[in-house]
Amino acid sequence: MLKFRLYPNKTQREILEQALENCRCVYNCLLAAQKNTYEETGKLISQYDQNLKLTQLKGENPTLSKVHSQVLQNISKRIRDAYHNFFVRGRLGLKAGPPRFKKYGRYKSVTYPQSGFRVEGKKLLLSKIGSINIKLHRSIKGDVKTLTVKRMPSGKWFAIFSCKIMFEPEQKPNGAVGVDVGLNHFAVLSDGQAIENPRCLRKSESRLARLQRRLSRKKRKSRNREKARIKAARLHETIFNQRNDFLHKLSRKLTDSYSTIVVEDLQISNMIQNHKLAKSIADASWGRFIRMLSYKEEESGGEVVKVNPKGTTQICSRCGLKVPKTLAQRIHVCPRCGLKVDRDLNASRNILKNTVGTTGITPVEIEPLLSQGASLIAEAGSHRS
| Residues classed as catalytic | 180, 264, 344
Mean pLDDT calculated for residue range 32-36:
91
Residue 360 has pLDDT above 80, yes or no: no
In 206-221, which positions are buried (b, 16+ CB within 10 angstroms) versus exposed (e)? eebeebeebbeeeeee
Residue 279 has pLDDT above 70, yes or no: yes
The pTM assigned to this predicted structure is 0.81
> Do 302 and 360 meet the contact criterion of CB atoms below 8 Å apart?
no
Sheet holding 109-112, edge to edge: 109-112, 143-151, 157-164, 2-7, 130-135, 123-126, 117-120
- Higher model confidence: residue 341 or residue 232? 232
> Residue type for 86, please?
F
Residue 382 has pLDDT above 60, yes or no: no
Strand blocks (E) in 73-193: 109-112, 117-120, 123-126, 130-135, 143-151, 157-164, 176-181, 185-189
pLDDT tens for each residue of 227-240:
999 999 999 999 99
> Do 204 and 363 meet the contact criterion of CB atoms below 8 Å apart?
no
pLDDT tens for each residue of 4-31:
999 999 999 999 999 999 999 999 999 9
> Do 86 and 99 meet the contact criterion of CB atoms below 8 Å apart?
yes
Mean pLDDT of the chain, nearest integer: 85
> Do 182 and 163 meet the contact criterion of CB atoms below 8 Å apart?
no
Angle between helices 10-41 and 47-60 (to 10 degrees): 120
Q: Quick one: pLDDT at residue 355?
A: 66
> Do 123 and 8 meet the contact criterion of CB atoms below 8 Å apart?
no
